[in-house]
Structure 1
């Protein structure tokens, strides 16, 4: 029997994938290779790209414009998917990175989309009233006192600043102190060279009703050097109230402001390292840091339902992204924050900073892409990535025993196979790079002392396969049994004595391959084409009879 989960080979609609493969052939130049991979949704814009009606740069322009004027895009392209509330930053990044590839009139439109709210005559979403400003030690805050962008003007201490502005100031101060101070990340770059900066080079944060577009907030760049270097300045926009009427059941009010500030400010921090880094690293670490700064809110747990520890859809690559917001796994790029939580709980939160230091694209820095940087950061700590990833797979099978807050996490829920004396026939599993799969077994009318033996055929060791069994006893205690290789036959086995008295056994199969051919036009790490996808792992299980006791 062959088992596997359907995963699109490129994780893109087939026609869109073909269009991107054409647009980014293997011989693409270095400058082209450094552009972030697009992740087109399977909607009217995605189909226009696939059909050649839009170039990649034009697609990025139309997708960004649809953030603020979706009705215009629908008139031209039909159905347009609404982005998730945190998609604005990287949609705008994809546009800013491609401005040189646009025609002059299109560049002017792109500049309007990327304009600050204070650029009243130039911005797509401008302030329509005179802006107020307050500059603190590190950050300048902007708001208006009328029109839809105005926050509540309640001012309990009568100091001339609305309470919401003061709350936003305090939240950004706490966030800066945590991310730059306590956690040691680089501060956002000065925007002193930007034409429309504030009165200084400090980070500018604009308060506006972006919730009307379904956005919590975003950070983007108008750094004039953004197309010449990969470490750039940023400015940010956050919603003016995070009202429940706009965001439904998600976090709202001050709690939403806090996690949005932690998430979006970290994008501004990331831009000071490499603003063109891979999506899964940027969004995964930004979602991870929310809980590092504001531990009691736990808004990022919503993304665990599409993550490596999800009850279903857990067997996706770590660097997977489904661009279609209508698909249940579209939040996976956020859900991989659990990987960074796993690393930070075992090696300390500095491990994530170490990854960003390896990804740093400033002059003289390593400038490694996401997966390279992760492998390097672990190697510096004398940890092999493949072993760590296999341990991650095992931890995810029992999160309540593996994470400090794991009692509130979901866990993979594979179907249970009842194992009788006849064992389990040969099963072939299709695996994907940086992915894990789980199979659950329980004894059926077996002698308590019966032994369960898994026989496995693992693929080429160069692809970093691994297998383990987690044995749960009737008292709830857990034991891990790793696979052992028979050097004579090349087969692997896992022996579980006393299976007949166990509650269950979970077989964990891992494909920890980091092998990719970069710049092939796909949406994985380094735009790479994985070398170890669609790889088969086969297993069967036998029950050893219990020897009769001699008379």
Structure 2
């Protein structure tokens, strides 16, 4: 626990580092988008300025410049936007942009050990890598060797282990047909540059990768080999998965490209955890839609893919990308893939929202594999500690969007023994669910859901509230659409009275005509004090009903099983029903009682031909008399004489009974009990 607390402290510092990079003061991309939305710059200027944040940040207009030492994640989204909009720009704008989109000029290159990649680099100038060549001593800078090794490892992970498509070949660009990676100085971890359409009938694209030249002063991670190597590892995995995505569909929604690439970091290099730096961007804003891409929300949303691969299978993510080959809509692709696993996007997202409570200090060991290690928990919109509360609405700024959620905590139940009532009513016109998470000590959770009607309103009573430290109400918008949706919730403590009882039947429910049977009832003390309960039993048909015991002392929140012997009446046809009624009355408060009825159904007693409640030789004699000398038929109905269960009444039934009674033969094979 101490090490995890220390890690949370370290990542809290990292979060402040990343948050500073994302603040309005130092986020040039957001400021450029704002200027474009306000018509202060043209489309061409917007795209050029964004690309300049990668290649020439020092040449940006003053209002768009980065703060010193700001490090940003992936510039792939910027480069995709630039390439896809290139033809829409003016001639001079295209010329400027082409200077940035072309392949970097590097003096040296090296092959990766497995021969899948060519790594391009310089050892002098602004983009120079550290030229140290120690381990291995092979004439290639060690950092280049590392990038080559990490790229090969990512290749094996994605294609060898997971069988994703290969990025389309660039022919001889970069010197040969190998996939090209360039090492550069920039304020980003890296990016994948789409160059031109690929050979397939769908929207696949040829690409190359650019990776930072040293990763000095980048956000922290957990890699045991050091921060720089950890950042290089996950960047190779992240950007190469972008290259792999471009083998499926460059036009798929960029938010899911980032979700998937951050997830792939976890698959290829689970020990690094660089993506933990962005979890706060998702967990601090659970009300935002799953596909939101502002403030690195899509980077923190890698937990969505993590949920899918944990709860279903890693192959589900590949199925989603296969669905995207001919369909640009990510939600449709996800839903189609989930249908193949017996689920759908509505239900899966509702469960995902509940999972997200179980991280960091709230981890229970049953959800995210490394959830205990996550430095973040989801934000609450509030904690309720006084009851009742009625007709509460979420703050307008925190109302959930489509595929968004809220979390409300109910706590401070005091010494109350009893129940807790929660009511929820979601805004009309949208699909809702309302998860309820019951938290016992040591992060032991019970997950429930408020049953909602067609108007998405409903209530839930939580029993034995004294067992729980707190309760989380988790409203979830399961619709794929909608912004800032409202709902109403109420909550009320329902303390138990001083003295009360609850009776529940426990079966059995079948009995033979003239048959004995022992039945059972559970009796619960639903009062807040220990009590003595007096039992009485009755029925609706005048059968003989005898309790084993009539007085029971039951502690608070405890129960006892009460047994009674029943003897049914004669000549009762199968299907006849009699209700056995048990009443438990408090010894200390006679108006406090509980009652329940147990329905008993008459079933056929094959072989008991004379309906005396037993099978013996007299039943064989009865059948012989009926068969040969015109005696009375079996009672209470003909087929009660069918001892061998062959649907006929004849001498073989008499023989069957004699064998059963005198020589240890089998009992009638179709008896109910």
- What TM-score does the superposition give when structure 1 sets the normalisation length? 0.77
- Secondary structure of the structure 2 residue equivalent to 1:171: helix
Name 2:506's counterpart in structure 1.
Answer: none
Name 1:124's counterpart in structure 2.
Answer: none
Aligned pairs for 1:486-501 within 5 A: 491-501=457-467
* Match 1:116 to one of 103, 122, 125: 103
- Secondary structure of the structure 1 residue equivalent to 2:489: strand
- Secondary structure of the structure 1 residue equivalent to 2:252: coil
Determine whether 1:205 maps to 2:189: no
Cα separation, partners in 2 of 1:492 and 1:159, compared to 1, 3 Å: same
Distance (whole Å) between structure 2 residues aligned to residue 491 and residue 92 of structure 1: 46
Aligned pairs for 1:372-451 within 5 A: 372-399=332-359, 400-401=363-364, 402-409=367-374, 410-414=376-380, 415-420=382-387, 423-429=388-394, 430-448=399-417, 450-451=418-419
Aligned pairs for 1:171-190 within 5 A: 171-190=150-169
What 5-or-longer segments of structure 2 have no aligned partner? 1-26, 500-585, 589-673
**What is the alpha-carbon root mean square deviation over aligned residues?**
2.6
Q: Deviation string for 1:373-408 (max 9, x for gaps)?
A: 111110121202111111111111123122111112
Determine whether 1:304 maps to 2:279: yes
Name 1:526's counterpart in structure 2.
Answer: none
1 or 2 for the larger relative contact order (CA 8 Å, sep ≥6)?
1
CA contact (8 A) 1:443 1:500 kept: no
Distance (whole Å) between structure 1 residues aligned to residue 298 and residue 116 of structure 2: 30
What 5-or-longer segments of structure 1 have no aligned partner? 1-38, 119-126, 323-329, 361-365, 515-529
* Match 2:149 to one of 170, 195, 198: 170
CA contact (8 A) 1:145 1:151 kept: yes
Name 1:92's counterpart in structure 2.
Answer: 79
* Match 1:337 to one of 302, 308, 324: 302
Q: Deviation string for 1:91-115 (max 9, x for gaps)?
A: 1111111010111121122111111
CA contact (8 A) 1:92 1:220 kept: yes
Determine whether 1:242 maps to 2:179: no
CA contact (8 A) 2:192 2:240 kept: yes
Name 2:327's counterpart in structure 1.
Answer: 367
Determine whether 1:547 maps to 2:497: yes
Determine whether 1:221 maps to 2:194: yes
Q: Which has the higher strand share?
A: 2
Determine whether 1:459 maps to 2:419: no
CA contact (8 A) 2:131 2:142 kept: yes
Determine whether 1:232 maps to 2:205: yes
Cα separation, partners in 2 of 1:111 and 1:535, compared to 1, 3 Å: same
Distance (whole Å) between structure 1 residues aligned to residue 119 and residue 494 of structure 2: 71
* Match 1:479 to one of 425, 446, 461: 446
Cα separation, partners in 2 of 1:145 and 1:473, compared to 1, 3 Å: closer
Shift of 1:306: 1.5
Distance (whole Å) between structure 1 residues aligned to residue 139 and residue 30 of structure 2: 48
> Aligned pairs, how many?
456
Shift of 1:140: 1.6
Q: Deviation string for 1:345-395 (max 9, x for gaps)?
A: 1111111111111111xxxxx324111111111012120211111111111
CA contact (8 A) 1:96 1:221 kept: yes
Determine whether 1:154 maps to 2:122: no
Distance (whole Å) between structure 2 residues aligned to residue 388 and residue 47 of structure 1: 34
Distance (whole Å) between structure 1 residues aligned to residue 231 and residue 443 of structure 2: 38
Q: Deviation string for 1:188-230 (max 9, x for gaps)?
A: 11112x8xx123232111123x2xx31222110222669x962
Cα separation, partners in 2 of 1:175 and 1:42, compared to 1, 3 Å: closer
Cα separation, partners in 2 of 1:491 and 1:220, compared to 1, 3 Å: closer
Determine whether 1:318 maps to 2:290: yes
Distance (whole Å) between structure 2 residues aligned to residue 199 and residue 71 of structure 1: 31
Distance (whole Å) between structure 1 residues aligned to residue 205 and residue 268 of structure 2: 24
